[in-house]
């Protein structure tokens, strides 16, 4: 069993160890500089270089520093993924609502005046206020040629409750549906 002994910072053993390191570093510096014909460095400079090299060799805290550099990138990727995933969900819901309500209007089961409220009711809660819904008809008086057109638009910052990246680039989500009105089904006796 071996016991390791560490010298106290102000002890003689510690001073002897530091002096040995300084002499070794001075000898190395003398050899290197003498070999290349460069002037000899003062011992104070050689000691400072040795201390810096020892500090650079220490790896304590390196993982924390690297994590601190990578964390903002990871958080940006995470929030961006969530935000654009929610925006795609909102866009998909917007398309499905326009398609379903357009079909109900085209088969005469939903009045045209209720289409806007019905589309808004089918959107997610955070997107209802930001949605612009327009319902137009090509020939309201003639059901044989009448075509309903539903246009739903929404700014990107209304499509997601996070609004992390959508404030930087604010595109508009837009879906459009055109559907021909079907003739009313009449049962003849």
- Residue extents of the structural domains in the chain: 12-58, 90-180
Tell me what pLDDT residue 134 has. Answer: 95
Pick 179 or 28 by higher pLDDT.
Answer: 179
Three-state DSSP class for 37? Answer: coil
How does residue 53 score in pLDDT terms, banded at 50, 70 and 90? Answer: confident
Residues forming beta bridges with residue 152, ordered by sequence position: 133, 175
User: Tens digits of per-residue pLDDT, 38-47?
Assistant: 566 666 776 7
The answer to pTM > 0.85 is no
Rounded CA Rg of the chain:
38
User: Tens digits of per-residue pLDDT, 115-170?
Assistant: 999 999 999 999 999 999 999 999 888 888 899 999 999 998 888 888 888 777 77
Q: What percent of the chain has pLDDT over 90?
A: 42
Sheet containing strand 172-180, strands side by side: 132-137, 147-155, 172-180
């Amino acid at each position: 069993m071996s016991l390791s002994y560490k010298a106290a910072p102000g002890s003689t053993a510690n001073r002897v160890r530091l002096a040995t390191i300084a002499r070794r570093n001075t000898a190395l510096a003398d050899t290197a500089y003498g070999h290349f014909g460069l002037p000899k460095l003062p011992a104070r400079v050689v000691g400072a270089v040795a201390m810096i090299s020892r500090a650079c060799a220490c790896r304590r805290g390196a993982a924390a520093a690297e994590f601190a550099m990578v964390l903002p990138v990871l958080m940006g990727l995470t929030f961006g993924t969530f935000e654009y995933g929610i925006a795609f969900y909102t866009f998909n819901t917007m398309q499905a609502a326009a398609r379903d309500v357009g079909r109900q209007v085209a088969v005469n089961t939903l009045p045209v005046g209720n289409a806007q409220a019905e589309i808004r009711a089918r959107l997610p809660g955070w997107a209802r206020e930001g949605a612009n819904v327009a319902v137009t008809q090509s020939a309201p008086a003639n059901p044989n040629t009448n075509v309903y057109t539903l246009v739903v638009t929404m700014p990107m910052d209304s499509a997601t409750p996070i609004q992390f990246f959508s404030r930087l680039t604010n595109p508009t989500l837009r879906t459009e549906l055109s559907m021909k009105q079907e003739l009313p089904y009449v049962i003849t006796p």
